[in-house]
Chain A
């Protein structure tokens, strides 16, 4: 019986469509700038090289804008990772508390379905929506490479997109956990969590003293400037991130199963 799962997919269909169209669309269109920029790369690289901490923060010191994949990682990648992180945050942070906030808990939660089952079906819906978003964004990337007739390193591209997906799922799970403790939907929570993680990754890039933050922000193991530049993926930290997501899910589900529902 997947009624709640299907219900959530339908409820969030509009948000997903708009969000995906914007991010995947931008991801696609921005690659059309690359052929024009490719001629001026040296000049541009010199400018970036002189930006110091700024280029460190965005990983431009590692990733060459002169290659199509490097350009994709810096330009399109930033959109996918911020846009995707925010989407996952928004979906996750509202998914449980909206029943109380919109007073539908008295309908849904008085049906003969265990609360834990409701929570997990809702989480499954969030994960499905995030996967769909990433599939479309990945397809837009592949499409763009084909249109501008650049060869695509499939392995790096796939690694990067898988890391992006895992990162967004982790944010989704963390926000899902937070959602169990909220009483109404707050867009600020979802967007805020994604942005905080994004800025923490910038700190990791800028200062060695801040390297420990890599255990907190999922933007570390999904950073385009490492993966697309061919660095080995930090699988250990990615697995640590997945564990954090699982813990947040477990805590959220446990609390949702026992909390007083007021709406």
Chain B
């Protein structure tokens, strides 16, 4: 079954664009990374999935249920972590966590206390006393305590220290192994490369690339660095190696002597940056053989 299935989803806020004709599907049990710059439409997509906003057209489904009509049924199976974790300032952490469990109609005390312990969260503090990182921890507990089948996490690691990030991903991996689908949006590409199985890249409201992280990272591209008498040059090459050789031969023919040459695997960062920078939303398949600085 598909955990998430989005078809031709469009959302306009008045005249301003949210997302346009977005198509995306995530298999159940996947660990999916949703990558995109600010304003690309990540949060709009997530808000539509959660039924916070109604799409202008198109459809979104979670676990084969329509996000509009079956919203309440869906939300029973979903754990959501918003990008900015806001709660009621005058409440204590334990009361917020208990309220979330009550709204799910479940007794989650055991699970919640386990999560709080792992995340080193002081549940007696009031929300107003918490730093952003600690508020994030509250939202992790609220999102995971009821053992959801689908976890939707909007930029979950911002504000968490590196050790906590590691613990957080460990928890997510455990949940994923137990069968939960993880869908997370992030700017931090290293964490997507490290933890996600597949990923989608969104730009200007449209999904421009989607596939396994493996595929995306090895997308026929290489970071080429060469040294000549004049210094060191580096560029991202995508396309057949023969094209690259031809280009390098061109340098030699022009009288430039290569002293050193390395071709390294580009990071996901580089690939994504490449997509962001490109005008007009060209897909990589159309840019075969192209080399860019």
Q: Please give the residue numbers on chain A whose beta carbons come within 8 Å of chain B beta carbons, in ascending order.
A: 1, 3-4, 7, 11, 102-114, 258, 260-263
Alpha-carbon distance between A1 and B102 when the two chains are bound, in angstroms:
8
Alpha-carbon distance between A98 and B76 when the two chains are bound, in angstroms:
24
In order of increasing CB-CB distance, the 6 nearest A-B pairs are A111-B103, A103-B86, A112-B75, A106-B82, A260-B53, A112-B76
Minimal Cβ-Cβ distance residue in B for A102: B86
Cβ of B84 within 8 Å of any chain A Cβ, yes or no, is yes
Question: What are 28 inter-chain pairs, A to B, with CB distance below 8 A?
Answer: A1-B102, A3-B103, A7-B88, A7-B99, A11-B88, A102-B88, A103-B86, A104-B88, A106-B52, A106-B80, A106-B82, A106-B84, A107-B96, A107-B100, A109-B52, A110-B50, A110-B80, A111-B100, A111-B104, A112-B72, A112-B103, A112-B105, A113-B72, A114-B71, A114-B72, A258-B54, A260-B13, A260-B52
Cβ of B142 within 8 Å of any chain A Cβ, yes or no, is yes
Cβ of B87 within 8 Å of any chain A Cβ, yes or no, is yes
Q: Which of A105, A108, A258, A260 has the most CB of B within 10 A?
A: A260
With A105-B52, A111-B104, A114-B72 given, can you name 18 additional A-B contacts, CB distance below 8 Å? A1-B103, A1-B105, A7-B88, A103-B84, A104-B88, A106-B52, A106-B82, A107-B86, A107-B87, A107-B100, A110-B78, A111-B100, A111-B103, A112-B75, A113-B103, A261-B53, A262-B53, A263-B86
Alpha-carbon distance between A107 and B53 when the two chains are bound, in angstroms:
14
Measured CB to CB, the closest approach of chain A to B143, in angstroms, equals 9
Do the beta carbons of B54 and A260 come within 8 Å of each other? yes
Q: A106-B80, A260-B53, A261-B53 are in contact. Are A111 and B86 (CB under 8 A)?
A: no
A-side binding surface: helix, strand, loop or mixed? loop
Alpha-carbon distance between A104 and B82 when the two chains are bound, in angstroms:
10
Alpha-carbon distance between A112 and B102 when the two chains are bound, in angstroms:
10
Q: A3-B102, A3-B103, A258-B54 are in contact. Are A107 and B82 (CB under 8 A)?
A: yes
Which chain A residues lie closer than 8 Å to B75 at the CB level? 110-112
Which chain B residues lie closer than 8 Å to A3 at the CB level? 99, 102-103
Measured CB to CB, the closest approach of chain A to B134, in angstroms, equals 15
Do the beta carbons of A106 and B86 come within 8 Å of each other? yes
Which chain B residues lie closer than 8 Å to A113 at the CB level? 72, 103
Which chain A residues lie closer than 8 Å to B13 at the CB level? 260
Which chain A residues lie closer than 8 Å to B50 at the CB level? 110
Which chain A residues lie closer than 8 Å to B72 at the CB level? 112-114
Which chain B residues lie closer than 8 Å to A11 at the CB level? 88, 90
Alpha-carbon distance between A108 and B87 when the two chains are bound, in angstroms:
9
Alpha-carbon distance between A7 and B139 when the two chains are bound, in angstroms:
18
Measured CB to CB, the closest approach of chain B to A254, in angstroms, equals 14
Minimal Cβ-Cβ distance residue in B for A263: B86
